[in-house]
Structures are given as structure tokens and as C-alpha cells.
């Protein structure tokens, strides 16, 4: 998967997260988490875009580390929201699985970048 394909995958993930959470039931906890997950899922995409144009390998690794942190936050928020939702549970599970796949890609990318340093 090249950089543009991965960036497009992240964009699609962000859009799917935003679409899914708009349909969740109103609950004080879920409402709070909705704001959090919007920020973190979009942050993954935006930080990856910055990583693509990193000034050095060290900068690239650092920015991908931020992507991983934001992706983990997104996944945790989705897991909590899943506990409050019965209607969107299957959709949230798909997003959690995609989050796991993205995390694996970024971990592997960082390991490869460190190995090539």
C-alpha cells in the first residue's frame, strides 16, 4: 500500500466514524465521546498527512507515533460507545476492526523506518 492509498484509507475511516456516530443514541457519555472521537479520528488523518512530508526520518517516526496515539484514542472511544449502543454495534465493531488494521500498518511502518535508520 503506497502513501496515497493509506491516506485515502484514513480519510475514508474518518468519514465512516463521523457518519456512524451521528446515528448513535443520545446519552451524556456518548455525547461527550462523540466530540472526542471526531477530533481523534480526524487527527489521525491530518497527522499522517504531515508525516508524509516529514523533514527527516526521525520526524517521520515521531509524527507516525502521534498517529498511533490518536488511533488508539479513537479505538478506545469507539469501544466505550459500543457499550452504550445496540443499534450501531455492528457498524462500530467494523470501525474498531479497521482501527486495529490501521494500527498494525503504522506499527510496521515505524519498525521498518527505525530499522532503515
The domain in which residue 76 lies consists of 3-115
- The CATH number of the domain holding residue 79 is 1.20.1440.60
Instruction: Tally Cβ neighbours within 10 Å of residue 111.
Output: 11
| pLDDT at 87 (0 to 100) | 64
With a CB cutoff of 8 Å and minimum separation 6, the contacts of 38 are 17, 18, 21
How far is the C-alpha of 50 from the C-alpha of 70, rounded, in Å? 14
Q: What is the pLDDT along the chain (117 residues), one digit of tens a residue?
A: 898 999 999 999 999 999 988 878 788 888 888 999 999 999 999 999 999 999 999 999 999 999 999 999 999 999 998 888 766 688 899 999 999 999 999 999 999 999 988
In this prediction the pTM is: 0.91
Angle among Cα 89, 74, 69 to the nearest 5 degrees reads: 150
Q: Could you identify the residue written with the cell 492509498?
A: 5
- Structural domain count, the chain: 1
Number of H helices and number of E strands within the chain? 4, 0
Amino acid at each position: 500500500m503506497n502513501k496515497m492509498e493509506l491516506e485515502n484509507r484514513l480519510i475514508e475511516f474518518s468519514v465512516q466514524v463521523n457518519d456512524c456516530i451521528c446515528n448513535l443514541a443520545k446519552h451524556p457519555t456518548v455525547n461527550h465521546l462523540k466530540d472526542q472521537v471526531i477530533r481523534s479520528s480526524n487527527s489521525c488523518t491530518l497527522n499522517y498527512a504531515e508525516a508524509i512530508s516529514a523533514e527527516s526520518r526521525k520526524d517521520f517516526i515521531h509524527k507516525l507515533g502521534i498517529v498511533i496515539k490518536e488511533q488508539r484514542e479513537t479505538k478506545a472511544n469507539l469501544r466505550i460507545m459500543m457499550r452504550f449502543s445496540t443499534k450501531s454495534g455492528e457498524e462500530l465493531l467494523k470501525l474498531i476492526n479497521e482501527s486495529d488494521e490501521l494500527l498494525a500498518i503504522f506499527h510496521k511502518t515505524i519498525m521498518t523506518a527505525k530499522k532503515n535508520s
